[in-house]
Amino acid sequence: MRNVEVVLLCTAMAFGVIMAQEHAKREPITFALDCAGGDCPLLKGAPQTNGMRGGSVKLKPGESIGWHSTSGNEEALVILHGSGVANIEGHSDVPLMEKMLVYIPPATRHNVTNTGTQALEYVWVVAPASQPH
């Protein structure tokens, strides 16, 4: 074998080992959604996932999560309990109620506030937004 062929073969084998290790790290997992309060990250991105992150939030009446941006991610909020409002920059406020999903596009500033009389609990999931092909 020539040196170039050996280098290509070694590179291919190393890439295969790396891919197998990455695949092995991404096993199904579960989390209890018992969060004492505030924002509780659960999925933490790579290497646990391909970039998806998520967690659960519990806000007391009157509390807000605070303005933040999705940056290069898209985000889904799944409202589990309570009521509130999602302030989404450039859009009308979105009333939140249990058993509801809210989609927030990439590069969007937003905030969530508990406007109800009991805890507002929700799950958030963000994933890198892919570019259309």
Q: Which domain holds residue 80?
A: 38-128
In a domain, 20, yes or no: no
In this predicted model, what pLDDT tens digit does every residue of 56-66 receive, in sequence order? 999 999 999 99
Model pTM? Answer: 0.69
Contacts 24+ apart (CB under 8 A), 83-91: 83/114, 83/115, 83/116, 83/120, 84/59, 84/112, 84/113, 84/114, 84/115, 84/116, 84/120, 85/112, 85/113, 85/115, 86/110, 86/111, 86/112, 87/111, 87/112, 87/113
Question: Residue 25 falls within a domain, yes or no?
Answer: no
Does residue 12 form part of some domain?
no
- Checking if the pLDDT of 18 tops 70, the result is no
pLDDT at 17 over 80: no
**CATH number for the domain that contains residue 75:** 2.60.120.10
In-domain check, residue 44: yes
Into how many domains does the chain fold?
Answer: 1
Residue 27 lies in a domain: no
In a domain, 31, yes or no: no
